[in-house]
Amino acid sequence: MRLTRLDADGTAAMATAIFQGVLPEAVIHDVFVRSDGIPLHVEEFLAIATNPAATNRALPDTLADAVLARAQVLSPAARALAGAASVIGRSFDLDLLTAITDGTPDDTDAALRELDDRFFVQPRGDHPSYDFRHALIRDALYADLPPHRRRDLHARVAGAAVMAGLREAVVSDHYERAGRPAEAHRHALAAAVEAVAMSSHREAVELYRRAQRTAPIDIPGADRATLLAALAGELGAGRRTEIAVWAKDHAQPTDAV
């Protein structure tokens, strides 16, 4: 369900429910001002405000800062695993995560348990995979990765995704983010063909555009022309689909005779 913003009293009630007690009015006020009453933000700022190590310190200004402040108390192994998981995405598969990290399976299990206990991730339950508790938590951890570390992890994910037989679109995205255009181009073209076969025109357009961005400088003229023609074709097909949907939605029923 979609939660609405809390007012100051609602923020105080949420804090009382979480911590089974009344927090100082000044703390509640600071949390409310910074969180703008958004429940997830309230929870993150409360975690910082009630941390004994944060006594007499000003609260972070943004949610991302609050998430990173909480991440500072993680063990090095859990912090590194959280960063690697953030590269995979909002949801991540256990086997894929294990494949791109340097620790043993036992190390991965221990780090995931810590991340679960500290409310960074949660198991999905249907199969061995996890979700970040919110996309904004994942985004904050991802943005905090050093650029070269991020690119290396994307390259690892792409290689592991190939070995696992994941979709070409996923592989091409990670190769592009890893700064490896040749591989990204090749897999984007293959993924675009798959999307066209399924009449997924919007996805095909994005994939052909990725192939265009990552095309080699010395790509033969004929190949470039073929790529542009395919892109144009999918743009046209997508537009025709949009027009058809619009016409169906706005069609006026005829009066029965």
Query: Which structure tokens are listed for 91?
Result: 């949801």
- pLDDT tens-digit profile of 236-257? 886 765 554 445 554 555 544 4
For 129, the token pair is 């995979």
Q: What is the pLDDT of residues 124-176, one digit of tens each?
A: 876 789 999 888 899 999 999 999 999 999 999 999 999 999 999 999 999 99
Closest CA to 55 of 17, 24, 83, 84: 24
Q: Where are the chain's structural domains?
A: 8-61, 76-145, 167-246
Distance CA 233, CA 240 (A): 11
Q: What string of pLDDT tens digits covers the 257 residues of the chain?
A: 777 888 888 888 888 888 777 778 888 888 888 888 888 888 888 877 766 555 455 677 788 888 998 899 899 999 999 999 999 999 999 999 999 998 899 999 999 999 999 989 999 876 789 999 888 899 999 999 999 999 999 999 999 999 999 999 999 999 999 999 999 999 999 999 999 999 899 999 999 999 999 999 999 999 999 999 999 999 888 676 555 444 555 455 554 44
Cβ contact 208:230 at 8 Å: yes
Q: Whose CA is closest to 130, among 178, 176, 78?
A: 78
CATH code for the part of the protein at 76-145: 1.10.10.10
The CA distance from 176 to 181, in Å, is: 6
What's the pLDDT at 42? 82
CA-nearest of 242, 107, 64 to 48 is 64
